[in-house]
Structure formats: structure tokens, C-alpha cells
């Protein structure tokens, strides 16, 4: 017996409307009993007999309405490629694979690359229609090309001002309006000049240029990138700590005693699949951690309060870093509540912390390392070494 036909078809619709649709997409529209989509998309449709339902705002409200059409042949309209920063993944998340099929159209990325002649495989791309400009911060470097969708024409000037504020005002912004449709328009402005043009829908191609500071790709990034009150894991120790934490795809970090948030932030910068929660007892520092993460365009969960109490009920970690406030109570709680196989890295600078770490290392094993750093400093008319406090680092798998 043939498989039952899915009740839902997701159709990627471009600015050229039905003229750009495949035969399969056109057939799905003609056979549909219900077609649901944004007002702009519904206005691009050919003559159809289906009931037309406008997708409400906020977007999530429409999912309940859409799922109510189960049992009727339904088409959900989306922009171009529904699974690139589009509605596709949100629509299908709660559905069985047998319930739906997708017929993508020409996505923004393909159309933008075709207009600009840029290779997609080496051009980072971002959906900034619902994300801050700071999401681009780790990628700002002279010569870098970036593709991004934006919310509307006003967002072009907001992005231009942000790039200028970062020191990249010489960036060429290729403004791409309504690609693939009769209203298509492409023009170029400098970031520090902006534009008064009204454009929608809009995407941009950025050719980054300017004297702004670029963020290094390796861990151990400059301390100056992190606003702090002195409570920060310094750059060389941070690099050693990230090496010991050894982030892997999709993992979650607990950063206990966050300070400036530098460890969690560098963890997140390692790969977009990573996530992290920082625990910080000082509310001012907790707020500062959020600001530091936001400056990199990162999503970092910050929990204010004393550990181990604040650790209860949190998503289980794959790795734990203790950078401050290490105690017998905390380590006992971790060994009693965290699954085996979780990696733990603890740094201690005081004699009391060192003694505690040495005691637990004797019982639990792992690697124990003493880090002693010295920086050259003026010494009269000459130079000498100024030593930092030694740090004991313990790495162990629970």
C-alpha cells in the first residue's frame, strides 16, 4: 500500500511569486484546501480555490492554528529556502516526518551570491532579522565578506552605524532588495555614509574594511575585550583552561564563579553548537557578564547567586569550570549530583584553594598542574621579571 500523502506542504515562495515556483509547488497550491502564510506571501499567490489564512504575529501563535488544519491538505508559505533562518524548522519541530514535505524555492543566499559573484562555501551568512548586529563581531576583519538578512530598510542604517562604531566604517554594504522579483534592486553604500533609501525585504553583502580591532580566532583572547573589575582569568591561563576543558560539538559548560565571564565566552566562541551557563554570586559581576557576552553577540545563561545552591535544577553540563569560590561543599555536591564522565577543571590561587585541590586530587586523581607566569617590567633603567601569583589547575573526569 502506498504511503499516505502528507497533510502539510511547506512551499518556499520567492519575490517572483508563482512564476518562480516548480511544477510540484504549483500543483500543491492548486490541490490545497488551506494556504497559510504572511500577508506579503499571500499577495504573491496565483488564483487558487483554497481558504487563505494570514499568519498572525507573534509567529508562535500561528503554529497552533496551522496544526489545527491537520487532516486537510494544507500549504504553509515561507520565504525562499524555508530551512535557512526560515519558518521550516519551527513548523516541523512538533510534527512526525510522515506529516509534511518541503518544496524550497531559491533562497536569499543563492540569489545574493549570484548577484555578487561570491562563493557560498567560503562566505559566512547570518540571519539578522531577529538577532543583534553584534552577532557579526567575531567575524569582523578587513577583507572578510559576509551575507546577512535584515529586518527592514531602517536596519541597514543601524548596521552601518554599528560597523562604523566598531571601526569598520569603510565597509562596502551591498544592499539587496527583493531579489528575484520585479522590485529587485541592488546598490552599494559605505557604512560611514549610510543610506536614505527605503528598501524591503532586504539582505546585504558586506565587504569588511577599516581599522577596527579584529577578534583573534584562538582561545586566550586579549583581556581588554572583557569588561572586568579585576576578577578575570588572565589571557595565558584562559588559553590553558580552554585547552583543559576541551570543548566538543554540542556540549554545555557550567562556569562557576564567572567573574567577567571570559571562560564561558571563549567556550561559546569555539563553536556555534556550544552552550554555557555562568554562576556568579556578585550581582554587579553577573550583569557585567551579560554585557560582555552581548558585545560578542553570544547567548549566555547567567545565574546570579551562590553555588552549589544555584546549581540545582540546571541543565546537566558536559564540562564544569570552577574559577572562584571552590569549597568542600561545592566539590561534594558535584560528585554527588553530576553524571560520571563529566569533565571538571578547577583553578585555585589561594593557599586554601590549593590545599583543597591537592586533597581532592589525591582522592579522585586527574591531572594537577602548577602555572607560574612572569611578565617583563621596568627595573630601574633595565628590565626584570614580575611574577604573577601561581595558579594550581586540576583537570579530572568524574
| Cell 569560590 belongs to residue | 325
Does 3.40.50.720 match the CATH number of domain 8-106? no
pLDDT at 4 over 90: no
CB atoms within 10 A of CB 131: 16
pLDDT at 1 over 80: no
**Mean pLDDT, range 104-119, rounded to an integer:** 93
CATH 3.30.950.10 domain position(s) in the chain: 109-207
* Surface-to-core class of residue 319, CB atoms within 10 Å of its CB (0-12 exposed, 13-18 middle, 19+ buried): buried
138 band by pLDDT with thresholds 50, 70 and 90: very high
pLDDT at 104 over 70: yes
Q: What is the secondary structure of 285-348 as a DSSP string?
A: HHHHHHHHHHHTT---EEEES-TTGGGTTSPPPSEEEE-S---HHHHHHHHHHSPTT-EEEEEE
Copy the grid coordinates of residue 178.
527583493
- Give which of 374, 359, 373, 218 is closest to 394, Cα–Cα: 359
Res 2: pLDDT: 46
Are the C-beta atoms of residues 34 and 69 closer than 8 Å to each other? yes
**Mean pLDDT, range 290-315, rounded to an integer:** 94
Copy the grid coordinates of residue 394.
586540576
Res 7: pLDDT: 97
Res 16: pLDDT: 87
Provide the CATH topology of domain 223-397.
Rossmann fold (3.40.50)
Model confidence over 336-354: pLDDT tens digits? 999 999 999 999 999 999 9
Rounded Cα distance between 302 and 276, Å, is 9
- pTM equals 0.88
CATH 3.40.50.150 domain position(s) in the chain: 223-397
Rg (CA), the chain: 26
CATH 3.40.1010.10 domain position(s) in the chain: 8-106
Say how many residues make up the chain: 398
Residue range 109-207, CATH number? 3.30.950.10
Interacting residues of 203 by C-beta distance below 8 A, sequence separation 6+: 108, 112, 147, 148, 149, 150, 176, 179
Are the C-beta atoms of residues 318 and 293 closer than 8 Å to each other? no
Res 199: pLDDT: 80
Q: Can you name the residues that pair with 190 across neighbouring β-strands?
A: 172
Give 225's DSSP letter: G
Model confidence over 355-388: pLDDT tens digits? 999 999 999 999 999 999 999 999 999 999 999 9
Model confidence over 19-69: pLDDT tens digits? 889 999 999 999 999 999 999 899 988 889 999 999 998 989 999 999 999
Model confidence over 191-218: pLDDT tens digits? 999 888 878 878 999 999 999 999 999 9
The rounded mean pLDDT for the chain is: 93
Res 3: pLDDT: 61
Amino acid at each position: 500500500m502506498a504511503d499516505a500523502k502528507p497533510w502539510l506542504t511547506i512551499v518556499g515562495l520567492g519575490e517572483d511569486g508563482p512564476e518562480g515556483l516548480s511544477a510540484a509547488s504549483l500543483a500543491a497550491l492548486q490541490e490545497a484546501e488551506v494556504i497559510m502564510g504572511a500577508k506579503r506571501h499571500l499577495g504573491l499567490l496565483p488564483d487558487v480555490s483554497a481558504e487563505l489564512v494570514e499568519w498572525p504575529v507573534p509567529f508562535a501563535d500561528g503554529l497552533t492554528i496551522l496544526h489545527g488544519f491537520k487532516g486537510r491538505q494544507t500549504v504553509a508559505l515561507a520565504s525562499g529556502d524555508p530551512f535557512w533562518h526560515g519558518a521550516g524548522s519551527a513548523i516541523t519541530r512538533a510534527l512526525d516526518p510522515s506529516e509534511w514535505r518541503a518544496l524550497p524555492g531559491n533562497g536569499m543566499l543563492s540569489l545574493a551570491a549570484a548577484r555578487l559573484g561570491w562563493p557560498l562555501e567560503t562566505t559566512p551568512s547570518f540571519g539578522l532579522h531577529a538577532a543583534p548586529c553584534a552577532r557579526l563581531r567575531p567575524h569582523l576583519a578587513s577583507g572578510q565578506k559576509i551575507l546577512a538578512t535584515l529586518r527592514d530598510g531602517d536596519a541597514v542604517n543601524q548596521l552601518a552605524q554599528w560597523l562604523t562604531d566598531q571601526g569598520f566604517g569603510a565597509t562596502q554594504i551591498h544592499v539587496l532588495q527583493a531579489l528575484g522579483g520585479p522590485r529587485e534592486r541592488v546598490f552599494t553604500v559605505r557604512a560611514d555614509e549610510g543610506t536614505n533609501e527605503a528598501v524591503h525585504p532586504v539582505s546585504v553583502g558586506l565587504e569588511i574594511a577599516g581599522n577596527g580591532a579584529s577578534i583573534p580566532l584562538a582561545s586566550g583572547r586579549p583581556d581588554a575585550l572583557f569588561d572586568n573589575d579585576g576578577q578575570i582569568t588572565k589571557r595565558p591561563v584562559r588559553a590553558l583552561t580552554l585547552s583543559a576543558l576541551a570543548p566538543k560539538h554540542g556540549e554545555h559548560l557550567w562556569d562557576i564563579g564567572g567573574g567577567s565571564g571570559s571562560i564561558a565566552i571563549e567556550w561559546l566562541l569555539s563553536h556555534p553548537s556550544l552552550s554555557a551557563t555562568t554562576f556568579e554570586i556578585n550581582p554587579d559581576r553577573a550583569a557585567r557578564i551579560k554585557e560582555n557576552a552581548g558585545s560578542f553577540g553570544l547567548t549566555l545563561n547567567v545565574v546570579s547567586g551562590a553555588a552549589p545552591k544555584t546549581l540545582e535544577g540546571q541543565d546537566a553540563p558536559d564540562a564544569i569550570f570552577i574559577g572562584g569560590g571552590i569549597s568542600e561543599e561545592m566539590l561534594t555536591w558535584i560528585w554527588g549530583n553530576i553524571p560520571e564522565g563529566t569533565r571538571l577543571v578547577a583553578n585555585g590561587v589561594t593557599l586554601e584553594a590549593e590545599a583543597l585541590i591537592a586533597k581532592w586530587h589525591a582522592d579522585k586523581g586527574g591531572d594537577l598542574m602548577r602555572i607560574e607566569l612572569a611578565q617583563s617590567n621596568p627595573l630601574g633603567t633595565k628590565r626584570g621579571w614580575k611574577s604573577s601569583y601561581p595558579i594550581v589547575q586540576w583537570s579530572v573526569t568524574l
